[in-house]
Structure 1
């Protein structure tokens, strides 16, 4: 599609910002951590130094440390806390989903995980290295690993629900999540919690207790010097045992030999969380120097060992040797995940100007392993443990910002920002053990380790990208009623050239009780290096439960080119929003925002191309035998996402304490247009082939809830703190293409979840709490006969309410 409106928008805003009024980003002071109020001064999405939530030109949510600490009780997970607290945030638990069992992907406003930008203290966060190719949500992406950010390190989180590419660069299509770290110069806290799932699993008529979770954190701060310097450090330890909600195996019809039927009625599969162990460490520091300058630095570290589930291999099958596994086997994937971000910089004043210069480095490394597996083509002497590949993603960013505040007359104030940024991305994969991909002498057996063949030497890749940006922004306050935000950025990468983005946000306050706000922006996201260069070879089960050998091909691979692959284009969006805010006295406030996001050239993984026609074509044209499935990345379609978001709060003194009621509602709908046509050459192989069809359409449109609603209540006095949250997740639809016209689908109905907690402060330092999530032990609808895989997977792995049932916990906390 042409995009003249987006280009003109960026140019127009750039011209406005070249006027003499321009000046930058003053580092806003962190506001007090006032729970559930809208008086916090925000630093995300604006250059103004005194804007609060209701005064912003785009919708911004502010989550306090207390909000996050209480909501993230399941294994200290930041992602779970955000899903509970944010109406537009989706963070599903996936099972039997490859890499998604190890690194969970998050969505904002129903868009892809790589279309939201994550910042820590305003600095760009790197993404994970592992490509999710077997998942539903986040398929084909390398998402930011939210659970690698320590919960105990957070002072607050600001979530900008609007495009912000002109302010922050590529990827800020759906919005920006800015994690602001604890900067207290003194005191500290110790916290420990333990919990477990306790549930009635109706498909097997049993009561189960599993998912035992222990979490401990400690943090302390000390002042450095007498002029505001500090050092804040912390440590977290987390252990989460696995859960299993699998049903009784009825044995697939094609595997019903006498040997396999002996396993009928057993729980051969696993549906649920994998086991995880985490070590998190962090620090945040600041040290003044000279008369007006400050050195600052912060870092986060995560080391996680995790396990994932895979389909059961029956004893009497080509994927097994009875000498090795006489009763069959279920491969277990193992992830070794290391995640580090380190930032150092200096900020201060040069006359009337503020400056901020920083260097940001982030790295994620992931080693993928399998145990309880086999390479059947190697025979009975095959290893049963494999390393299947190493993944590495690095991000280096250098920033230099200048800013100042100046007045124009008595009632007009401007905050001006100018800046330069240089960024380098690097992505790398390395092959697995030779035995994980070897084709052994038993040619009638599948090659490669089961449940994910290793990366081969030909799969390995190493890619880099250099990006340079220049940007400017102007936030203005015209008297008491009218304010604006303007921004423009020119960003140039060495592989996709230059992009000009802009944003205009306006707000007019008719009275303190009513204000209108709106914004328009154009944004873009370049294809990730993984989407350009990632390749993998695997042997596993497809959606229909059939064992196939397949490859994810890079768009530059000759086989992919022969099947219709082309160079990927960047995604470009045009975001518009309109809303109102209202605050009536000190008791009630409400905001309602409507938005539309048009994205051209949306990137997705193609449908899996399977069948004899593929196998024969690849062997004849490229001399590669036995390829049964192939997929690659494509610019699949243009999409339009429309939605509305409502947030309201009521505060009231009650019974010697403070009562806060919060209601949220979000609606999001994505539709497709200009869907990628299947190339004639591919149709000539088989007229039923499609590059982008029902399964991947479902991924972008219906696989996540269109609606989310929640009503939360909290009351606290000097000793007691009571809180509860009732959440409603809208319906979702799952669609599969099993081939030969067999396309089962199911819509899972809306579900409700009730969470509650009681905390008692024994002394000013000591407190204890008990609580639960999903207290009604609710589950999603049971999957139908076409989807539940012969009794083994009774619940959908993508249910927003999860498939673990009720969870109960206790917590003790000491502050000083």
Structure 2
């Protein structure tokens, strides 16, 4: 009853706030007395549609942009002036004088200052259909239309080969979502902001989730209200942008427009939990008379947790079922519901961002960006039952306890630079970027069992920190006119980067065992704190230089060649190159392809991270807590196990595709790819002690003086080669339906990753056992690489706009995923599912639009975990399969789209 009351109170407060924001923006709006919808199509001089072109009414608030087929609709009066502008094209002004349908052609112009266009450093603007490699350009309007409020989720429903799902019961990974492009790891995609490298998180994913062992970039640390567009390069680009760009590059372009935008969102899950509230404001100011702009963003997001736990069916006080029932009765019964929280973590997020561009002269500009985010989260771990006497202080928690992990995440970044043009027409750009992430862990409602009744119940467990400083110098010039070519763009530059990684220990009570011989577990239950022995304060330097040449050899034939050299202070050198081409078979049909080699350097985290954590692993059909020691790659324990020194991952990327304009307002791109990766860096292990105590693991741990309370050890190593291949298909058409505009988009990705080779050493041979388990890479870890991400994702969306009304329907099919186990009887595969989103929007006045919608309209859930029986048919431990005595209804090891069900919302957007 209390939970229901709190939920409805939250919903009521959120609705009141949304209405208040709506009242304010309407109250301050200047209504357009007689607006008329103006429709039009914008193309280049060849008649090819241009997407993302800005259209605003001069001296009036609001505006719009063209869709993928160059079509737009905007409200204007006779006498109004439309200002049409796009990067790389001459702006136009058109006065409305009775015409309601426009056809506009923009003339190309070589940018006077360096313009960031992902996948190419050429000054010649190219559409995504003209580029030699596949690039998705997702506008802020498209991101907003998803009904999602976090950037990672917005990209998931707009980019075909991008997957990001929230994790549960996974320590810090509950608070930072791992993401994947083309089925590869979170650390195999490079993220840029305004074309500059974005730092990674401080968090290392060491629990049993997608991306285990990786260090990714947190897209949700960026305020959604600040994003102008997102560019997704779906091709290897290490030669152009450096380490991590094996799967591709995501570039987040921040707003630098003037005017005011207000966003508000309120929603909740069908199940009655998971309420969300978002309020954001973006304000742009003109600076000076030469086009200077200061754009500011403030945003707050609040997310309530969700819970999809099942009933607990195991014993509570005693392993003997009969005795357990008596003890349960004596202690007033037991609520087998709600003793776990499995779902989204609780989060409160606050953001601030500033984006500045200020002309200094006709040929130079100063630019800068600053961003800050503060996030506070709370997630639950596994319940500690009274029967777990080594972990529970019965005098304090006679009914056991559910421990919580609290997170406090701070992200800070600042970037500043100058760009301009020399007297000899060389474009130059000098910039410096500094950013970092700090992750603090706190544990509440727990105990350190080794302290008995003197234990605290709340613990500060330490911090992780990562900072990065990057300085770039770039030059470019188009030499085409001197070579009698349409274009011959030469770009070259250098980068200096410094990485810093730090582990700060927690309070002593969070990690120490005060009674090592008493049989009680030491440290805070759920997340033992970082120990002084885990402390890290390390840094490294990286220097790189690149050359990038792109030329229209003929009107039909485009070639791009790039090369990059990087030197790392901690492991050595890396060299990458790329050749990409596009040939126009017809004006409406082109073929394109690329071949490149790439690399991903070991992150500084993977070199130096170490800790002891409680990880639950399936042993004989039951999830059992195991004290797991993660050691540095250079640790004597790792070397005694035969693990070699870390080196870079290397890759070879192949892609071949076609781009076509098969009809009016229609476009099609099909791109096939293959990515071969050698020496992938994963967590080697889990190496488990044996009952007999005679294995190499027992010997190594005993020789190192590691106590028997540590059951498992693991370390980072290069020991797997993989092959990933697939195909991306994007088809869009915009038929004119009466006086309205309809945009239909089909986007699909089919993808498969296979392990080609598992490498052994003299001490650890790469020979699987009869069940297919390698000594340090069991079937569960194999399936995380090959099967945990959907093998395909297909999305079909229809967006119809008629005057003030908009309708959007999108169906997304997530392919099957699988989770294997060391025991093949517990392998599971979860069938494909279709998630449908729908919304209706209405413009109250031209500047204010309200949307009501539902994500996962039909309340679809993944397949439930299965229960199993052993060969004798009796209810042994394995009977509950992967459900952990019924507590897990859905898999936490392999996820397609989450486990929260349907979500309804109301949102507001206003432009002034």
Q: CA deviation at 1:190?
A: 1.2
Pick closer, same or farther for the CA change 1:541–1:50 going to 2, 3 Å: closer
User: Number of residues paired by the alignment?
Assistant: 772
1:505-654 to 2 correspondences below 5 Å: 505-543=580-618, 544-612=622-690, 613=693, 616-618=698-700, 620-626=702-708, 627-654=710-737
In structure 1, what is the Cα distance between the partners aligned to 2:132 and 2:668?
Answer: 15
Which TM-score applies when normalising by structure 2? 0.82
Matched, 1:164 2:260: no
- The correspondence for 1:230, drawn from 287, 293, 302, is 293
Other-structure match for 1:787: 882
1:267–1:792 CA contact under 8 A, matched in 2? no
Q: CA deviation at 1:765?
A: 1.4
> Higher mean Cα deviation, 505-514 or 561-570?
561-570
CA deviations on 1:497-541 (whole Å, 9 max, x unpaired) are 222211111000011221100001111011111111100112353
In structure 2, what is the Cα distance between the partners aligned to 1:744 and 1:609?
Answer: 20
Other-structure match for 1:282: 353
Pick closer, same or farther for the CA change 1:215–1:264 going to 2, 3 Å: closer
Other-structure match for 1:34: 66
Give 3-state SS (helix, strand or coil) of 2:780's partner.
helix
CA deviations on 1:375-404 (whole Å, 9 max, x unpaired) are 111112211111222110011100011111
Pick closer, same or farther for the CA change 1:331–1:781 going to 2, 3 Å: same
1:382-397 to 2 correspondences below 5 Å: 382-397=455-470
Pick closer, same or farther for the CA change 1:417–1:770 going to 2, 3 Å: same
1:582–1:591 CA contact under 8 A, matched in 2? yes
Q: CA deviation at 1:266?
A: 2.7
- The correspondence for 1:338, drawn from 407, 410, 414, is 410
In structure 2, what is the Cα distance between the partners aligned to 1:61 and 1:465?
Answer: 34
> Higher mean Cα deviation, 452-461 or 112-121?
452-461
In structure 2, what is the Cα distance between the partners aligned to 1:727 and 1:765?
Answer: 31
Other-structure match for 1:470: 545
1:387–1:433 CA contact under 8 A, matched in 2? yes
Pick closer, same or farther for the CA change 1:31–1:397 going to 2, 3 Å: farther
2:52–2:66 CA contact under 8 A, matched in 1? no
Other-structure match for 2:95: none
Q: CA deviation at 1:689?
A: 6.9
Other-structure match for 1:11: none
CA deviations on 1:189-222 (whole Å, 9 max, x unpaired) are 1121100001xxxxxxxxx300011000011111
1:268-417 to 2 correspondences below 5 Å: 268-318=339-389, 319-351=391-423, 352-408=425-481, 411-417=485-491
Other-structure match for 1:762: 844
In structure 2, what is the Cα distance between the partners aligned to 1:38 and 1:628?
Answer: 61
Task: Provide structure 2 residue ranges, at least 5 long, that are not aligned to the other structure.
Answer: 1-50, 55-64, 72-85, 88-115, 868-880
Q: CA deviation at 1:496?
A: 2.1
Other-structure match for 2:40: none
Pick closer, same or farther for the CA change 1:446–1:413 going to 2, 3 Å: same
In structure 1, what is the Cα distance between the partners aligned to 2:574 and 2:328?
Answer: 58
Higher-Rg member (1/2): 2
Matched, 1:217 2:217: no
Other-structure match for 2:165: 92
> Higher mean Cα deviation, 258-267 or 410-419?
258-267
Q: CA deviation at 1:406?
A: 2.5
2:152–2:220 CA contact under 8 A, matched in 1? yes
Give 3-state SS (helix, strand or coil) of 2:781's partner.
helix
- The correspondence for 1:441, drawn from 515, 524, 527, is 515
Give 3-state SS (helix, strand or coil) of 1:801's partner.
coil
Other-structure match for 2:27: none
Give 3-state SS (helix, strand or coil) of 2:863's partner.
coil
Q: CA deviation at 1:801?
A: 2.3
Give 3-state SS (helix, strand or coil) of 1:697's partner.
helix
CA deviations on 1:692-738 (whole Å, 9 max, x unpaired) are 2211111110111111101011011331111111000000001123x
Q: CA deviation at 1:30?
A: 8.8
Pick closer, same or farther for the CA change 1:679–1:787 going to 2, 3 Å: farther
Q: CA deviation at 1:678?
A: 6.1
Other-structure match for 1:53: 128
2:189–2:246 CA contact under 8 A, matched in 1? yes
Other-structure match for 1:814: 910
- The correspondence for 1:140, drawn from 202, 205, 213, is 213
Q: CA deviation at 1:412?
A: 2.5
> Higher mean Cα deviation, 609-618 or 563-572?
609-618
Pick closer, same or farther for the CA change 1:474–1:260 going to 2, 3 Å: farther
In structure 2, what is the Cα distance between the partners aligned to 1:194 and 1:264?
Answer: 32
Task: Provide structure 1 residue ranges, at least 5 long, that are not aligned to the other structure.
Answer: 1-28, 199-207
1:536–1:553 CA contact under 8 A, matched in 2? yes
1:605–1:696 CA contact under 8 A, matched in 2? no
Give 3-state SS (helix, strand or coil) of 1:379's partner.
helix
1:640-719 to 2 correspondences below 5 Å: 640-677=723-760, 679-680=762-763, 690-719=775-804
2:256–2:355 CA contact under 8 A, matched in 1? yes
Matched, 1:495 2:570: yes
In structure 1, what is the Cα distance between the partners aligned to 2:796 and 2:131?
Answer: 24
1:665–1:707 CA contact under 8 A, matched in 2? yes
CA deviations on 1:243-271 (whole Å, 9 max, x unpaired) are 00111110159845344684363331111
Give 3-state SS (helix, strand or coil) of 1:299's partner.
strand
Q: CA deviation at 1:458?
A: 0.9
In structure 1, what is the Cα distance between the partners aligned to 2:551 and 2:476?
Answer: 13
CA RMSD of aligned residues (A): 2.1
Q: CA deviation at 1:586?
A: 3.3
1:260–1:316 CA contact under 8 A, matched in 2? no
In structure 2, what is the Cα distance between the partners aligned to 1:172 and 1:799?
Answer: 24
Give 3-state SS (helix, strand or coil) of 1:584's partner.
coil
- The correspondence for 2:260, drawn from 188, 192, 197, is 188
In structure 1, what is the Cα distance between the partners aligned to 2:223 and 2:728?
Answer: 28
In structure 2, what is the Cα distance between the partners aligned to 1:449 and 1:113?
Answer: 29
- The correspondence for 2:897, drawn from 776, 782, 801, is 801
